[in-house]
Amino acid sequence: MVAFAEIFLTKATKDFLHGRSADTLAQIALGGWRFLQDSQPDRVDVEVFNPEIDSEGWYAPVTVLRTSLSERPFIVDSLREFLHNEGLSIEHLIYPVMQVERDESGEITSLRSSKDGESRESFVHREVSRIMDTDVRESLRREASRRLHDVIRVADDFHPMVDAVNSTVVELAECVGSLPELREELEEVLAFLRWLRDGAFVFLGCRKYDIVELDGSPTIVVRAESGLGVLRNEAESAFAEPVPVSEAEPGIRDLLMEGPHLIITKTNTRSTVHRLARMDYIGIKKFSSDGKVVGEHRFIGLFTSRAYGEDAHQIPILRRKLRVILEGVDAQEGSHDYKEINTMPKEELFLSSADEIAADIRTVLTSYHTGDVHVTLREDPLCRGVSAMAILPRERFSGEVRQAIEEALIQRFQAELLNYYLALGEGDQARLHFYLAARADGENDDDPAVRYAFFIEEAEAMAERLGALYLEIEQAGPRDFGAEEAVRMSVFQYMVGNTDWSMVRFDNAEVLQTSGDVYVPVPYDFDWTGFMSARYARLDERMGIRNVRQRMYRGFCRPTFDFSTVYSQFVDIRADLEALYTGQEGLDEDNARDAVQYLDDFYEDIESPQRARDRLERDCRGM
């Protein structure tokens, strides 16, 4: 236990250590030690919980994700990408890797910090924005476990996948000798595979597919035991059972039987390992000795930064495409036209044929010195996505224009944007490239869904309802309001845990004038409050608070005002405030209980004279 605590806490940040008491740190380390003891290196262990005094011995307004498994690449980045995609703010991460020795029953017999060794185990402690819904926490646990199992498959099958690349290279090299008419193209494919293998591609999965004669018809079937990485489960393949070529989707059938010998496209699904993005699909056709297509070697993964950073003229496949294009437009090296060709996005070069790229280049070159807007659209051969290029005069380009074009494309094709690229060349045009794909995992705007929402009353309607006058004031000083009205507003904002407001600039606040000519500030829009604890809420670093749940009084100092006058008003409505949450339809029990606890913490502050002075009356802003 002591060794674990030392290793665990030495990996913690200063903010983590300074923000917790010694007793809290001891309880966190004890909980982590117990979790590690119950874990086993040959499996994935995940737990997600909200720390409470009764269950964990410590409390913080966060949700904790703990994981334990034998050390492998991609653990931390895969979880980070997943949590960010869920809209969860990662507040703390502690990631010790340890040399753990266990006996036959799995009990830990020794433990030390380690960078090398055969029995290395990783332990991850992450703290994220607090999740009150029990079902959401369980869903998070299951999905984190699923992704870590994919990490294991990818890491354990890395060398077999490299071997599969090498065997494909050997097979294609044999075809070069027997199929001289395909020699030039196949040699370029061979060079491309070697380039991928040598650091340009993160291999996440591979499979082999055969085309065999079945009942007198060519049929596609996955080759048994060929699946590796995230494609290891061959039962999930659309071709786990034989599918006649004639019944395959038209795009797949045409590409397989008549298309290029190398297929580069995007998958329909996002990667669960390393980077959360649509995976890159590399398909290499298999040939018989007489040049007949008899199957496909398929690799999926992610192009690395090397692939996107390297000069296109140095990359196999791309260099051949560019050579054909340059010859077609008669562009000399160093010329203006040559430079424009080199501004085409790498993604576009990978996914498009030489003829398609050449057509885009001709559009670019003929669009110079015109005031017209040109748009080209091209569908992916597998009908999985659309490439769009928009060319417009440079002076007409802006961020708002780009956003408008993007939204129009998304709406028109009911798709999601995967990539965006802007080229501002030496001429007078701006060129925008978009690549969109059908929404992953069956997402569709037409799918029925139940959503809960609330509407904010318009300020004018509120004033009319209260018999007051709505004032459109853009700026005011702290003395423009009565002391009681200003303090009530500030205490309310403290109660709900809001720091995103101002009575000077009227950020998230409105002003009413009552019949007695009293100016009354009214709070508006509190989705960034501790009460809401929204996943997308962001902190102003100048405030010096750790998370949105931490309260901070932002009212102005009023040393002569009796704050108890306002405190008593809040005490009088305490039961009504609690009833808003305990009786709210659509709010689950955990969220309601958390809201009431958050209210209780506020009332403990204002009902204690000392705490009220320290946390509100003296912790104020100078006038």
Q: Which of 351, 353, 348 is nearest to 389 (CA)?
A: 348
Residue 601 buriedness (CB in 10 A; 0-12 / 13-18 / 19+): middle
Report the run of H or E that residue 126 belongs to, with start and end. strand 120-129
Residue 156, class by beta-carbon neighbours within 10 Å (0-12 exposed, 13-18 middle, 19+ buried)?
Answer: middle
- Rounded Cα–Cα distance for residues 527 and 496 (Å): 10
Q: What pLDDT, in 10s, does the model give residues 161-218? A: 999 999 999 999 988 888 888 888 899 999 999 999 999 999 999 999 999 998 888 8
Class of residue 465 by CB neighbours under 10 A (exposed 0-12, middle 13-18, buried 19+): exposed
Which tokens in the block code for residue 324? 């054909």
Distance CA 142, CA 130 (A): 17
pLDDT > 70: percent of the chain: 91
Mean pLDDT in residue range 39-67: 94
Both tokens of 212, joined, read 């065999």
Provide the phi-psi class of 433: left if phi over 0, else alpha when psi is between -120 and 50, else beta: beta
Pairing of strands 262-270, 228-229: unpaired
- Quick: pLDDT tens for 318-374: 988 888 877 776 666 666 666 666 778 888 888 888 888 888 888 887 777 777 888
The residue-averaged pLDDT of 35-45 equals 92
Residue ranges per domain, the chain? 2-152, 159-309, 332-442, 459-617
Q: In the chain, what is the straight-line distance between the N-terminal and C-terminal CA atoms, in Å?
A: 53
**430 in Cβ contact with 391 (< 8 Å):** yes
Mean pLDDT of the 569-596 span: 84
pLDDT tens for residues 70-79? Answer: 999 999 999 9
The span from the CA of 100 to the CA of 118, in Å, is 9
Q: What would the mean pLDDT of 462-470 be, rounded to a whole number?
A: 88
Instruction: Identify the CATH number of the domain defined by range 332-442.
Output: 3.30.70
CA gap 108, 28 in Å, rounded: 19
Q: Of all residues in the chain, what percent carry a pLDDT higher than 90?
A: 42
Number of alpha carbons in the 13 Å side-chain half-sphere of residue 254 = 7
Separation of alpha carbons 151 and 232, rounded Å = 12
Instruction: Note the pLDDT of residue 372.
Output: 82
pLDDT value of position 331 = 65
Q: What is the C-alpha R_g of the chain?
A: 31
3-state helix, strand, coil in the chain (%, to 5): 45, 25, 35
Q: Which of 160, 41, 45, 49 is nearest to 103 (CA)?
A: 41
Q: What is the rounded distance in angstroms from the CA atom of residue 547 to the CA atom of residue 605? A: 19
pLDDT tens-place string over residues 598-613: 999 999 999 999 999 9
CA distance 198 to 408: 40
The pLDDT score that the predictor gives to residue 448 is: 44
Q: What is the pLDDT, as a whole number, of residue 228?
A: 97
Residue 19 tokens read as 């923000």
What pLDDT shows up at residue 117? 63
- Ranking 193-202, 271-280, 512-521 by mean pLDDT, the lowest is 512-521
How high is the pLDDT of residue 442?
A: 43
Mean pLDDT of 268-278: 91
Residue 297 has pLDDT above 60, yes or no: yes
What is the per-residue pLDDT across 391-443, written as a single tens digit (0 to 9) for each?
Answer: 988 888 888 899 999 998 988 888 888 888 888 866 688 899 999 887 654 44
Torsion, Cα 258 263 266 270, to 10 degrees, reads 110
**Using CA atoms, how far apart are residues 73 and 421, in angstroms rounded to an integer?**
30
Give the chain's mean pLDDT. 86
pLDDT grade for 575, boundaries at 50, 70 and 90:
very high
pLDDT digits (tens, 9 = 90+) for 106-165: 899 989 887 666 688 999 999 999 998 888 999 999 999 999 999 999 999 999 999 999
Tokens of 246: 């004639």
Q: Give the pLDDT confidence score for residue 443 in this predicted structure.
A: 43
The structure tokens listed for 380 are 């992916």
The pLDDT value recorded for residue 449 is 47
What average pLDDT does range 551-560 have in this prediction? 90
Kindly report, residue by residue over 374-388, the tens digit of the pLDDT: 889 888 776 678 889
- The residue written with tokens 């501790």 in the block is 530
CA distance 90 to 82: 11
pLDDT of residue 415: 85
Asked which of 245-249, 313-317, 401-405, 536-540 is least confident by mean pLDDT, the reply is 536-540
pLDDT of residue 427: 67
pLDDT of residue 416: 86
Q: Which two tokens stand for residue 493?
A: 């904002």
- Its CATH architecture, for the domain 159-309, is 2-Layer Sandwich (3.30)
The C-alpha torsion from 506 through 509 and 514 to 519, rounded to 10°, is: -40
Could you tell me the CA-to-CA distances from 442 to 204, 250, 415, 438 in Å, in that order?
A: 22, 20, 11, 8
Q: Is the dihedral of CA 64, 67, 72, 74 positive or negative?
A: negative
Q: 537 is written with which tokens?
A: 């809420």
Give pLDDT, residue 444. Answer: 41
pLDDT over 70 (residue 98): yes
